[in-house]
Chains A and B, each alone.
Chain A
Amino acid sequence: MHRVVITGTGVISALGHNTADFWRALITGTSGIGAIHGMDEWQIRFKNGAEVLDYVPEEHFAAAEIGFMDRFAQFAVLTAREAIAQAGIEWTPCLRETAAVITGCCLGGRAVEETGYWELFHNGRSRVHPLTIPLSMGNAGASHISMQFGLEGPAYTISTACASSSHAIGQAFWMVRSGAAPLAIAGGSEAPFFLGNLKAWEALRVISKDTCRPFSAGRSGMILGEGAAMLVLEPLEAALARGARPIAEIVGFGMSADASHITQPASTGAARAMRLALRDSGLAAEQIGYINAHGTATEVNDRTETAAIRCIFSKHADQLAVSSTKSMHGHALGAAGALEAVASILSLRHGKLPPTANFLTADPACDLDVIPNQARTCAVEACLSNSFAFGGLNAVLAFKAYA
């Protein structure tokens, strides 16, 4: 069994196009939420989202590559590039042959399907683009990362809605810990801003008409976000041997199913995933100083999650800091867990905890210390990152500061 560390991260989100911009926005409490572009004519009942702005594919990819990669796959490759560069990996033939790539996504490149079907249904065309399938498939992100870097080891994609990339990182962690893979690129990617998907979310009546205010009285639902984040995971001894500086250690992974309802979360399932992550990590509950919450800002999530945290941590729940960074980067679905994993490990690294932005006043049903609006300087030993998906599928990651 190896100790596993993260040696590189890559991020693209509404908070910028790299990890440094992401972290700067998080600790200044800057929200990336704004009016969704290009949707004015469609009478959607909400208008705001957390989009990746000023993204120009040509700045990152050759024209031929762009033709083979949808926006979500481009995000996956870009963030893998940043993570690998930061980690300073020196690829050997053996490492390339065995390194794992595990990605999460919820929608994949479905925006491409929409474009094709629009031509069929509205414009009387009889054919769709021949690359519709390879562009839209959910594993396109993992496939393009493996091709870009020539990685020939285990590569696959997990789709568990809003927990996808936490499941992906957890699986990668276990593979590196057990020695099944000598290194893993893991994370998630999502590009959910297309008409059919926005209409589908509208019909669920869970999207806020103003902004995302997790755990706050006066909250009115979630805000969709887009982007990607990737992490490089490798054994501690391998990282130290090549002189890399670990950002943080990943120490635990817990997962569970509510087995309850397709959209309503159950606090018991969430609690069990947290308990299992703690057990897997060998940490005592009292060692956890921070939780990056799932914190969607729907009434039912925030109350259920609060109850689950109280159930697991009992008295220590009042000593914990909890925040939802979705208040800034939005809910990026299959990329959410990966964005929040990066937020979590940077919190450990820098000794600063990102706030819950857009917070108005306390909700008595969410009576935890949720770091309202202002980041906090606070060195914590270890933290959890919670992800709870529609369908009741839960994934919780545990990280520890690397001194």
Chain B
Amino acid sequence: MKVVATSKRIPIENVQPDTSFESLGIDSLDRLNILFDLENEFDIEINDEDAKQVKNMREMIEGVTQLVQAKNGSSPAE
């Protein structure tokens, strides 16, 4: 949520799990910025097709969590 708030330059209080992208006024270019920020923040690769399905914060968080878990699960044990 912090990533979205920072990217869109809006107060973090406005960004809640059930907030839809539409209600935040997030357009296609904002989505690209958020995807870029998320990929950098969490060191993940977000698939274009998967990203298009995401409509709100909760779906975004679930998607990112899955990708982070997949990344951690697949990295070799130290």
Contact = CB atoms under 8 A, between A and B. Distances in A.
Nearest to A207: B48
A263 B33 CA distance: 13
Interface residues of B, number: 8
B75 interface: no
Contact of A264 (B27, B35, B36, B48): B27
Interface string A233-263: 0000000000000000000000000000111
A65 B36 CA distance: 42
A203 B29 CA distance: 11
Interface string A46-63: 000000000000000000
Contact of A203 (B27, B28, B32, B51): B32
Nearest to B35: A205
Contacts of A45: 48
A262 B27 CA distance: 11
A204 interface: yes
B28 A264 contact: yes
Interface size classification for chain A: under 10
B36 A263 contact: no
Contacts of A204: 32
A38 B51 CA distance: 29
Interface string A182-206: 0000000000000000000001110
Given A203-B36, A205-B35, A263 B48 contact: no
Contacts, number: 17
A263 B35 contact: no
Main secondary structure of the interface of A (DSSP, over half): loop
A205 B32 contact: yes
B48 A205 contact: yes
A263 B35 CA distance: 16
Contacts of A205: 32, 35, 48, 51
Interface in A163-194: none
A262 B33 CA distance: 14
A264 B48 CA distance: 18
Nearest to B31: A205
Contacts of B51: 205
Interface string B2-19: 000000000000000000
A62 to B, nearest CB: 45
A300 B31 CA distance: 15
Nearest to A203: B36
A264 B30 CA distance: 12
Nearest to A205: B48
Contacts of B48: 45, 205
A204 B28 CA distance: 10
A392 B33 CA distance: 20
Nearest to A46: B48
A248 B36 CA distance: 47
Interface of B: 27-29, 32, 35-36, 48, 51
Interface of A: 45, 203-205, 261-264, 300
8 contacts: A45-B48, A203-B36, A204-B32, A205-B32, A205-B48, A262-B29, A263-B28, A300-B28
Given A262-B29, A264-B27, 8 more contacts: A203-B36, A204-B32, A261-B29, A263-B28, A263-B29, A264-B28, A264-B29, A300-B28
